[in-house]
């Protein structure tokens, strides 16, 4: 028999520091898969954020560095501008990108920096224990929104990062994906590959949002969290390509 | 060597370029705007990268990226901007990434006064961010020193793989003086020489650089490593000028622009026969405690601390050195207002 | 002929694979790994069709597929 599905080479032979069923693992495994496929393990620099997302730092077997909370797109700007030949990406969560790092993501996108942002959206602050995130759904409970997120209570509306980034003139490619099913995971893999291809061709800024889960802080089992994404998350955050100027002219 | 007439801020920028700096990110704030403006036209000429960041926070973060790649990197700002950069500076200290940060100091607290002042002494020397890290801090008193110590700061940043600080004041940034610029150095990438503290969990063979360690023992060992480094700085990196202190009965302790005014006052007082001298810290950290500790309490009647800050901040380090053995007075002006030599003499006569 | 191989050291028994397997090959076993999790076991008597769904979704990269 021949091995037809292998664990990526650029993924360290260690267990992820994630809770059981956390789709950060799936997303980061897909990233490593694409890096292997592109043969870029030796030429990749990952800029990691603050939050659960950063745990990839122990998993990735390529160069990486850790930004302050929200600043990964600024750090990646410094990395890519001084090493344009490298494959550079950030991997950020929703608190990182939608709250504290909103300025950094919008301005890196607005400058059209030639790197890729991977945004894992699970609607909660995982690492700090389930506080309200900018992407928390209306009515979704959080430790800082114990009655459920309520815009009339001053807690704001879920923020739509892909749509906001796509509204800027310079980003080349913006897609919202999911990893809740194998088919969606394969589509996410394609989106990451496309984003990296765009970067390697020097075309500019690419942004891939991945809808993920947080069984621990959603208070559901991993299997139930998959149903949650289907029932609740898609409605608020529709999957799809929000910008792709590689298709134009 | 090339002798030119140059403004302090621009001289600092040119010194950076000549030291091999090839990445600059910054954000506008008075009184340092000449630095990013100069860099925006000079850096492309030199084959480097200039980025106007969306904030001070983003600018210092960009330096993390460029320093990761081994590129000599610089940012500049002033008081309020340094507060914002403190997040990134602390992180770079934790990541062991070299960079030169310039604070062209102005008045405070808050937005304060936007011309020159020396109101960030304690911030610069004790806590340029959270977590108990230190930087070597140079305080130039002339445009020539601004050039020399900017270059030295790049060397020290590379040697110790840590961020370093130039604490210039707005007056040094704004004045024009004749200055000798050194030859342009060949650009050397630092990455291959990087040696990081061995944090377990991160790549042994690949460069993986973080300011976090989930292994608490390893983090404590790293804190010890930094403490040892600061001991080395206190032993090897103190820079000080002792001016007419041999026979002095009165000693002024001051730095930067204040030291120029103090020097004029000392010259005038010496002509009147007053035995007065000056200890001028050039490195604010490590502080030249020994130069003050060795003053003879039987001979020195008083120490006068001068600073363009109210309250005077440098007095805290002087007190640490004197240990109550010599009376200390302090005199400052703030809000970007500057004392004159006559004002200093008047104050001296009131306390002597 | 096809089979899945599970690396015990990585598996956290999250059951995402079990829920997806169209042939009922995968289920939670009694073996406990070093992380303290009961891990998934593959039932050799069931017919794996190498659809790879379990491997693709596995957040731990613990499943490899042979055909």
B203 and B259 fall within a common domain:
no
How far apart are the C-alpha atoms of B136 and B152, rounded to whole Å? Answer: 10
Radius of gyration of chain B (CA): 20
With touching defined as 3 or more inter-chain CB pairs under 8 Å, the answer for chains C and B is no
B82 and B221 fall within a common domain:
yes
How far apart are the C-alpha atoms of B12 and B22, rounded to whole Å? Answer: 14
Q: What pLDDT is recorded for position B2?
A: 86
Strands A116-121 and A87-93: parallel
**Subunit contact B51:A48, Cβ cutoff 8 A:** no
The shortest C-alpha distance from A70 to chain C (Å) reads 24
The shortest C-alpha distance from C52 to chain A (Å) reads 7
Phi, psi of A161 (to 5 degrees): -70, -45
Closest C-alpha among A205, B55, A38, A50 to residue A30: A38
B221 and B277 fall within a common domain:
no
C25 touches C42 (CB < 8 A): yes
* SS3 of residue B37 by DSSP: helix
pLDDT of B277 over the 70 cut = yes
The shortest C-alpha distance from A183 to chain B (Å) reads 33
B148 and B53 fall within a common domain:
yes
Question: B190: which 2 tokens?
Answer: 């630092």
Q: In this complex, which chains have at least 3 CB pairs below 8 Å with chain C?
A: A
Residue B313: give its domain's CATH number: 3.40.50.920
CA distances in angstroms from A100 to A72, A104, A125, A201, B84, listed in the order given: 11, 9, 12, 31, 13
Instruction: State the 10-residue block means of pLDDT for chain A, 249 residues long.
Output: 96 96 98 98 98 95 98 98 98 97 98 98 96 98 97 97 98 98 98 98 98 97 97 97 85
For residue C50, list chain A residues with Cβ-Cβ distance below 8 A. 4
How far apart are the C-alpha atoms of C65 and B312, rounded to whole Å? Answer: 71
* A17 falls within a domain: no
The shortest C-alpha distance from A60 to chain C (Å) reads 13
For residue C20, list chain A residues with Cβ-Cβ distance below 8 A. 181-182
Residue A63: give its domain's CATH number: 3.40.50.970
How do residues C2-53 score in pLDDT, each as one tens digit? 999 999 999 999 999 999 999 999 999 999 999 999 999 999 999 999 999 9
In chain B, how many domains are there?
Answer: 2
Question: Buried b / exposed e across A6-18, counting CB within 10 Å, b at 16+?
Answer: ebbebbbeebbbb
* Residue B151 buriedness (CB in 10 A; 0-12 / 13-18 / 19+): buried
Domains of chain C and CATH, by start: 3-66 (3.30.70.20)
Stated as kind and residue range, the H or E segment containing C32 is strand C26-32
**Subunit contact B63:A77, Cβ cutoff 8 A:** no
**Subunit contact C57:A11, Cβ cutoff 8 A:** no
Phi, psi of B204 (to 5 degrees): -80, -35
B11 and B80 fall within a common domain:
yes
Stated as kind and residue range, the H or E segment containing A211 is strand A206-211
In chain A, how many domains are there?
Answer: 1
For residue A55, list chain C residues with Cβ-Cβ distance below 8 A. none
A48 touches chain B (CB under 8 A): yes
B168 touches B79 (CB < 8 A): no
Quick one: closest CA in C to A59, which residue? C60
Domain of B309 in residue numbering reads as 240-351
* Residue B315 buriedness (CB in 10 A; 0-12 / 13-18 / 19+): buried
* A61 falls within a domain: yes
Phi, psi of B95 (to 5 degrees): -85, -10
How far apart are the C-alpha atoms of A188 and A181, rounded to whole Å? Answer: 10
* A95 falls within a domain: yes
B14 touches B6 (CB < 8 A): yes
**Subunit contact A5:C52, Cβ cutoff 8 A:** yes
How do residues B218-243 score in pLDDT, each as one tens digit? 999 999 999 999 999 999 999 999 99
* A14 falls within a domain: no
Cβ-based neighbours of B70, under 8 Å, separated by 6 or more: B189, B190, B191, B192, B194
Longest dimension (CA), chain C: 32
A81 touches chain B (CB under 8 A): yes
Phi, psi of A199 (to 5 degrees): -65, -45
B269 and B296 fall within a common domain:
yes
For residue A184, list chain C residues with Cβ-Cβ distance below 8 A. none
* Residue A138 buriedness (CB in 10 A; 0-12 / 13-18 / 19+): middle
B302-307: strand order across its sheet: B240-243, B276-281, B250-253, B302-307, B328-332
The shortest C-alpha distance from C10 to chain A (Å) reads 5
B96 Ramachandran zone, left/alpha/beta (phi>0; psi -120 to 50): left
Closest C-alpha among B77, B17, B105, B131 to residue B308: B105
**Subunit contact A81:B23, Cβ cutoff 8 A:** yes
Query: At which of B236, B271, B286 does a domain end?
Result: B236
- State the best of A82, A86, A106 to mutate against chain B, taking most chain B CBs within 10 Å: A82
Cβ-based neighbours of C49, under 8 Å, separated by 6 or more: C2, C22, C23
Q: Which of B59, B62, B208 has its CB closest to that of A63?
A: B208
B229 and B250 fall within a common domain:
no
* A138 falls within a domain: yes
Q: Which of B68, B87, B207 has its CB closest to that of A68?
A: B87
Tell me, what's the ipTM? Answer: 0.97
How far apart are the C-alpha atoms of A71 and B94, rounded to whole Å? Answer: 16
How far apart are the C-alpha atoms of B152 and C34, rounded to whole Å? Answer: 52
For residue C7, list chain A residues with Cβ-Cβ distance below 8 A. 7
* A184 falls within a domain: yes
The shortest C-alpha distance from A83 to chain B (Å) reads 7
**Subunit contact B64:A76, Cβ cutoff 8 A:** no
Question: B260: which 2 tokens?
Answer: 């120029």
For residue A87, list chain B residues with Cβ-Cβ distance below 8 A. none
With touching defined as 3 or more inter-chain CB pairs under 8 Å, the answer for chains C and A is yes
Quick one: closest CA in C to A179, which residue? C57
B229 and B261 fall within a common domain:
no
Tally helices (H) and strands (E) across chain A: 10, 10
How do residues B331-347 score in pLDDT, each as one tens digit? 999 999 999 999 999 99
**Subunit contact A65:B64, Cβ cutoff 8 A:** yes
DSSP B193: G
pLDDT of B282 over the 60 cut = yes
Domain of A228 in residue numbering reads as 23-244
Stated as kind and residue range, the H or E segment containing A47 is strand A44-48
B254 and B221 fall within a common domain:
no
B133 touches B170 (CB < 8 A): no
DSSP E strand stretches across chain B: 2-7, 23-26, 49-52, 73-77, 99-105, 137-138, 163-169, 176-181, 208-209, 240-243, 250-253, 276-281, 283-285, 302-307, 328-332
Residue B38: give its domain's CATH number: 3.40.50.970
Quick one: closest CA in A to C60, which residue? A25
Residue B223: half-sphere exposure toward Cβ, Cα within 13 Å? 10
CA distances in angstroms from A133 to A20, A118, A163, B58, C40, listed in the order given: 21, 17, 17, 22, 33
B225 and B138 fall within a common domain:
yes
Q: What pLDDT is recorded for position B203?
A: 75
Question: A8: which 2 tokens?
Answer: 């990526």
How do residues B17-29 score in pLDDT, each as one tens digit? 999 999 999 999 9
C3 touches chain A (CB under 8 A): yes
Quick one: closest CA in A to C12, which residue? A20
- Cα dihedral B91, B95, B101, B103, rounded to 10, equals 30
* SS3 of residue A237 by DSSP: coil
Return the bridge partners of A243, or none: A174
The shortest C-alpha distance from B48 to chain A (Å) reads 8
* SS3 of residue A68 by DSSP: coil
How far apart are the C-alpha atoms of B55 and B35, rounded to whole Å? Answer: 15
Longest dimension (CA), chain B: 67
B315 and B226 fall within a common domain:
no
Q: What pLDDT is recorded for position A248?
A: 61
Angle at Cα B216 formed by Cα B214 and Cα B218, nearest 5°?
Answer: 95
B149 and B177 fall within a common domain:
yes
Q: What pLDDT is recorded for position B204?
A: 79
**Subunit contact A181:C65, Cβ cutoff 8 A:** no
Question: B305: which 2 tokens?
Answer: 């601390």
For residue C2, list chain A residues with Cβ-Cβ distance below 8 A. 1
Q: What is the pTM of this model?
A: 0.97
- DSSP assignment of B247-315 equals T-SEEEE--HHHHHHHHHHHHHHHHTT--EEEEEESEEES--HHHHHTS-TTT--EEEEEESSSS-STH
Q: Which of A60, A62, A67 has its CB closest to that of B61?
A: A67
Residue A51: half-sphere exposure toward Cβ, Cα within 13 Å? 32
**Subunit contact C65:A4, Cβ cutoff 8 A:** yes
Handedness of CA B130, B132, B136, B137 (dihedral sign): positive
């Amino acid at each position: 028999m021949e091995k037809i599905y292998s664990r990526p080479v650029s993924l360290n032979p260690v267990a992820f520091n994630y809770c059981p069923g956390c789709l950060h693992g799936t997303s980061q495994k897909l990233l490593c898969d694409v890096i292997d496929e592109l043969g870029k393990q030796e030429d990749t620099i990952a800029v990691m954020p603050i939050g659960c997302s950063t745990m990839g730092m122990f998993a990735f077997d390529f160069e990486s560095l850790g930004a302050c909370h929200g600043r990964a797109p600024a750090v990646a700007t410094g990395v890519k501008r001084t090493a344009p030949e490298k494959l550079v990406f950030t991997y950020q969560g929703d608190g990182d990108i939608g709250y504290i790092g909103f300025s950094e993501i919008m301005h890196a996108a607005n400058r059209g920096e030639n790197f890729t942002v991977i945004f894992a959206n699970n609607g909660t602050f995982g690492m700090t224990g389930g506080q309200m995130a900018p992407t928390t759904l209306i009515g979704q409970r959080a430790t800082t929104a114990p009655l459920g997120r309520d815009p009339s209570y001053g807690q704001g509306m879920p923020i739509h990062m892909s749509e906001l980034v796509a509204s800027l003139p310079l980003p080349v490619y913006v897609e919202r994906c999911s990893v809740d099913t194998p088919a969606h995971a394969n589509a996410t893999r394609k989106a990451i590959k496309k984003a990296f291809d765009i970067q390697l061709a020097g075309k500019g800024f690419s942004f891939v949002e991945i809808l993920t889960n947080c069984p621990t802080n959603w208070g559901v089992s991993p299997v139930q969290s998959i149903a949650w994404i289907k029932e609740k998350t898609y409605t608020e955050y529709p999957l799809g390509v929000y910008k792709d100027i590689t298709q134009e002219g | 060597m090339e002798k030119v007439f140059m403004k302090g801020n621009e001289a600092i920028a040119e010194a950076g370029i000549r030291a091999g700096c090839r990445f600059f990110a910054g954000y506008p704030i008075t009184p340092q705007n000449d630095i990013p403006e100069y860099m925006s036209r000079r850096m492309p000429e030199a084959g480097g990268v200039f980025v106007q960041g969306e904030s001070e926070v983003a600018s210092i973060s960009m330096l993390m990226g460029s320093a990761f790649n081994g590129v000599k990197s610089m940012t500049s700002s002033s008081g309020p901007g340094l507060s914002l950069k403190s997040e990134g500076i602390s992180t770079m200290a934790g990541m062991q990434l070299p960079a030169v940060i310039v604070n062209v100091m102005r008045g405070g607290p808050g937005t304060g006064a936007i011309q020159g002042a020396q109101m960030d002494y304690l911030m610069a020397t004790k806590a340029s961010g959270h977590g108990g890290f230190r930087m070597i801090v140079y305080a130039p008193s002339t445009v020539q020193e601004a050039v020399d110590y900017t270059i030295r700061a790049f060397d020290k940043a590379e040697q110790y793989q840590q961020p370093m600080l130039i604490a210039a004041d707005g007056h040094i940034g704004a004045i024009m003086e004749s200055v000798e610029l050194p030859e342009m150095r060949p650009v050397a990438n630092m990455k291959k020489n990087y040696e990081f503290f061995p944090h377990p969990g991160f790549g042994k063979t690949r460069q993986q650089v973080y300011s976090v360690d989930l292994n608490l023992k390893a983090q404590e060992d790293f804190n010890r490593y930094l403490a040892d480094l600061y001991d080395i700085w206190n032993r090897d990196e103190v820079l000080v000028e002792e001016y007419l202190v041999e026979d002095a009965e009165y000693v002024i302790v001051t730095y930067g622009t204040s030291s120029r005014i103090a020097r004029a006052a000392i010259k005038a007082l010496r002509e009147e026969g007053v035995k007065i001298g000056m200890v001028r810290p050039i490195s604010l950290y490590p502080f030249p405690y020994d130069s003050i500790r060795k003053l003879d309490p039987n001979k020195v009647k008083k120490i006068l601390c001068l600073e363009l800050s109210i309250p005077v901040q440098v007095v805290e380090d002087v007190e640490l050195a004197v240990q109550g053995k010599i009376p200390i007075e302090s005199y400052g002006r703030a809000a970007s207002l500057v004392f004159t030599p006559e004002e200093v003499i008047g104050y001296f006569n009131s306390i002597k | 002929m096809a089979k899945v191989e599970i690396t015990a050291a990585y598996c956290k028994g999250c059951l995402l694979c079990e829920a997806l397997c169209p042939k009922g090959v995968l289920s939670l076993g009694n073996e406990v790994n070093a992380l303290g999790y009961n891990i998934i076991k593959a039932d050799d008597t069931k017919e794996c069709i190498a659809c790879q769904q379990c491997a693709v979704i596995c957040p731990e990269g613990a499943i490899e597929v042979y055909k």
